[in-house]
Amino acid sequence: MCAAVAAPLRLASRLALVTGGGSGIGRAICQRFAREGAAVAVVDLNDSAAQETVKLLSRDQPGQEHANFQADISSSEHVANLMSQIQAQYSRPPCISVNSAGITQDEFLLRLTEEAFDAVLKVNVKGTFLITQAVAQALVASGASHGSIINMGSIVGKVGNLGQANYAASKAAVEGLTKTAAKELAKFGIRCNTVLPGFIATPMTAKVPQKVLDKFAGMVPLGRLGDPSDVADVCAFLASEDSAYITGACIEVTGGLYM
């Protein structure tokens, strides 16, 4: 067993925006980024959850200032306001953006309603588009020489999943969107990558029946469901210069499920 080591300070003096930062994977990413020295703009529809996250973040670096922002990422008006508020608070755009906000509304295809299909696509796809575009526009306008945009896909977008036609479609779309952004934004020094978590223990998966979770845990070669910190570790790598030559990639964080 290796001894735990302190997180390196790969993100010192960086400003990171994390959507869905009030819960689960997003909260773990905020915590990891703060431990690596970043100032974190914690964004969530649920503002009290985002406030709770801010309270948990380390502030060991000079000028390391975290703040919570309430926004619905599926609204262009909210996203525009969000970017103005971040600019007013930090006087610079975030050079790291993680879009972790996402929702499920599960139902078998034969019973899936148009409303549930549209609702999931609106947050997971349109929201990812609006945040990606807004951060990229702000970075390009500021003349920044580098940026890292990380979008949360899912292994389900690659392999499908019972009861998740809308969610699987939305996560496959996130991959296509992010790869296109990677191609268009490379000339500005902005890298764009997708992370594909497998089954991670969070409030989102708490809705899944225990017997289904046990079944998936049994199928994972590494023998357990993922922890939000497993995903946060990969996001910290993608946010940092340790991944300087990686763009347009989809990195699976699944414990080996579906390899």
Query: Which residues participate in catalysis according to the annotation?
Result: 167
Residue 148 has phi, psi (to 5 degrees) of: -135, 115
Q: What CA–CA distance (Å, rounded) separates 164 from 153?
A: 14
Task: Assess 132 for contact with ligand NAD (CB under 6 A).
Answer: no
Which of 101, 134 has the CB closer to ligand NAD?
101
Task: Assess 154 for contact with ligand NAD (CB under 6 A).
Answer: yes
Cα-to-chain-centroid distance, residue 82: 17
Q: What CA–CA distance (Å, rounded) separates 42 from 44?
A: 7
Angle between helices 165-185 and 127-142 (to 10 degrees): 10
Which of 156, 185 has the CB closer to ligand NAD?
156
Neighbours of 55 (CB within 10 A): 8
Task: Count the residues of the shown chain that bind ligand NAD, applying the rule CB under 6 A.
Answer: 30
**Full 3-state SS string of 168-179:** HHHHHHHHHHHH
Among 23, 68, 164, 247, binds ligand NAD (CB under 6 A): 23
Task: Assess 135 for contact with ligand NAD (CB under 6 A).
Answer: no
Task: Assess 61 for contact with ligand NAD (CB under 6 A).
Answer: no
**x/- string (CB under 6 A) for ligand NAD, residues 195-224?**
--x-xx-xxxx-------------------
Q: Which residues bind ligand NAD (CB under 6 A)?
A: 19-20, 22-26, 44-46, 49, 71-74, 100-103, 123, 127, 152, 154, 197, 199-200, 202-205
